[in-house]
Amino acid sequence: MAVVHVVGAGLAGLAAAIRLSERRQPVALYEAAQQAGGRCRSYFDRTLGRVIDNGNHLLLSGNRSAIAYLAAIGAGDSLLGPAEASYPFLDLSSGERWVVRPNRGRIPLWIALPSRRVPGTRLSDCLGVWRLARAGPDRTVADCLNRASPLWRRFWEPLARAVLNTPPEQGSARLLWAALGESFARGGSGCRPLIARHSLAASLIDPALARLGERGVRVAFGHRLRAVLRRDGRVRSLDFGERQVELGAEDRLILALPPGQTGALLPEIPVPGASHAIVNAHFSLAQPVRLPGGGPLLGLIGGTAEWLFLRDELVSLTVSAADALADEPSEAIAARLWADTARALNLPAQPQPPARIVKERRATFAQTPGALVRRPGATTAWPNLFLAGDWTATGLPATIEGAVRSGQRAADLVAGRPGKGR
Ligand SMILES: Cc1cc2nc3c(=O)[nH]c(=O)nc-3n(C[C@H](O)[C@H](O)[C@H](O)COP(=O)(O)OP(=O)(O)OC[C@H]3O[C@@H](n4cnc5c(N)ncnc54)[C@H](O)[C@@H]3O)c2cc1C
């Protein structure tokens, strides 16, 4: 039987391999690193003496492809979040706290209720969201929303920065709306915030590897693809340096690599060029703390970080579009982010607990209007070559949901069942 070769064991590659193996399709999975997960991974950190994630990852209850993937790998119950959609915020400059609480149904009654929306905002500020919904492909988030409104600083700015990992003055309005359309626009049932209960690996990666193993698929780690050899309009072989893999006449290839790697291997294919960093800080507290309301996250306004996540005694902060910050020494970043944390959690400013700063310099592509036209679809000019990855033309921002959906879609196309992955 024909083999589908999947290169890249990030979420896109894993999602593709899971879907193919569900259909008893023989799969060969290759990964350059010694572990799976790519930009969504966990590892043991000696300084903190525990497993940490490379960065906080937030899922929303409306992320249907990611939720279906979790169910498919038997990890459907491995996420944690409040029973109802709620987003607590703290303005570090004024000390003011509030909770944004969308109601469950699709009709956004909550924006009419001052107690459920951002303080100091009017109903008319909230209705500005329709300008996002109607935005043309060349519009940025800042083009569509009123930057003078308190809603900008207290909601849209941190939300858009987190979703697009791009400053909202440059980020694509259309992409932000695509994400909101599948979550907030569906009401509270679509935008419940969810995080991995223990670690990213425990939820999203290890169960997938176990499920693949049960089906006879093992990842060939340490396999960095160096060239894709094409002849007579088809991919013929894969060059992994010390190992060459010949493709049979019916074999297929799914490349699930980051954009830079794909562009280097296949220069004919346009890929988004620029990227942005995400900086994460992890602090190991002496004892567990709880956020007011008991949820796992807190939006921070007026500090360095935009979001604070809590898992027992591990507090983790995220700074998106953090290219300038990533150039600073880790000690300086830790001091700055601990100052925000201590204020947010009412903890002593000194001593600073053990910290780990993780700088992901190419966390996602720069999600600007200009980059949208450089996102290729899953099919290519070579009939046995398919593309996956969060940066391909999913119609969504570069997120877990986009990565998983791209892998599922590539798998469906390989199996001749287009459309099932969408
Ligand atoms: C710090 C951080 C925070 C994030 N926060 C969120 C969040 O809150 N919510 C959310 O939804 N998303 C978030 N994301 C985005 C999310 O992690 C990505 O969209 C997703 O993991 C991308 O998966 P992928 O499979 O497309 O790519 P990758 O994860 O990049 O997978 C590609 C794989 O290919 C391998 N590879 C590369 N080159 C080669 C080669 N030549 N040969 C073989 N293998 C190769 C890599 O090692 C990697 O394993 C965040 C990302 C980061 C970095």
Does residue 420 have a pLDDT over 50? no
Give the tokens for residue 203.
């939820």
Residue 250 has pLDDT above 60, yes or no: yes
- The per-residue pLDDT for range 365-413, each reduced to its tens digit, is 999 999 999 999 999 999 999 999 999 999 999 999 999 999 999 999 9
CB-based contacts of 246, cutoff 8 Å, min separation 6:
236, 237
pLDDT at 184 over 90: no
| Ligand 1 nearest-atom number relative to CA 401 | 11
Interval 106-135: pLDDT, tens: 666 666 666 677 777 776 776 778 889 999
Q: Is the CB of 225 under 6 A from ligand 1?
A: yes
Q: Is 9 in the pocket of ligand 1 (CB under 6 A)?
A: yes
74-78 long-range contacts, Cβ below 8 Å, gap at least 24?
74/207, 74/210, 74/211, 75/202, 75/203, 75/204, 75/207, 78/196, 78/197, 78/198, 78/202, 78/203, 78/207
Work out the average pLDDT over 101-109.
70
Atom of ligand 1 nearest to the CA of 390: 26
Please work out whether the CB of residue 360 comes within 6 Å of at least one atom of ligand 1.
yes
Question: Ligand 1 atom closest to Cα of 58?
Answer: 8
Q: Answer whether 7 contacts ligand 1 (Cβ < 6 A).
A: yes
Residue 57 near ligand 1, beta carbon < 6 Å: yes
Q: How confident is the model over 252-277, as a mean pLDDT?
A: 97
Residues 386 and 254 sit within 8 Å (Cβ to Cβ): yes
pLDDT the model gives residue 313? 92
CA–CA separation, 14 and 6 (whole Å): 9
Q: In what side-by-side order are the strands of the sheet with 234-239?
A: 227-231, 234-239, 244-246
Ligand 1 atom 14, closest CA: 399
Q: Are 385 and 401 in contact (CB under 8 A)?
A: no
- The CA 399 to ligand 1 mean position distance, Å, reads 9
Residue range 200-208: average pLDDT? 98
12 lines ligand 1 (CB under 6 A): yes
Give me the mean pLDDT over the 135-144 stretch. 96
Q: What is the pTM of this model?
A: 0.96
Residue 155 alpha carbon to ligand 1 centre in Å: 26
**Atom 49 of ligand 1: nearest residue by CA position:** 38
Ligand 1 pocket residue status of 257, Cβ below 6 Å: yes
Looking at the CA of residue 258, tell me the nearest atom of ligand 1.
30
**55 in Cβ contact with 280 (< 8 Å):** yes
pLDDT for residue 209 is more than 70? yes
Between the CA of 39 and the centroid of ligand 1 the distance, in Å, is: 3
Q: Cα separation of 261 and 362, whole Å?
A: 12
Pocket residue to mutate for ligand 1, from 5, 7, 40, most atoms within 8 A of Cβ: 40
Long-range contacts of 91-95 (CB under 8 A, 24+ apart): 91/154, 91/301, 91/302, 92/300, 92/301, 92/302, 92/303, 92/340, 92/343, 92/344, 93/301, 93/302, 94/302
Q: How far is the CA of 134 from the centre of ligand 1 (A)?
A: 30
Mutate to test the pocket of ligand 1, among 11, 30, 35, 39 (most ligand atoms within 8 A of CB): 39
The confidence score (pLDDT) of residue 107 equals 64
Residue 105 has pLDDT above 80, yes or no: no
Which residue CA neighbors atom 5 of ligand 1 most closely?
Answer: 57
Specify whether the CB–CB gap between 333 and 357 falls below 8 A: yes
69-96 confidence digits (pLDDT tens): 999 999 999 999 998 899 999 999 999 9
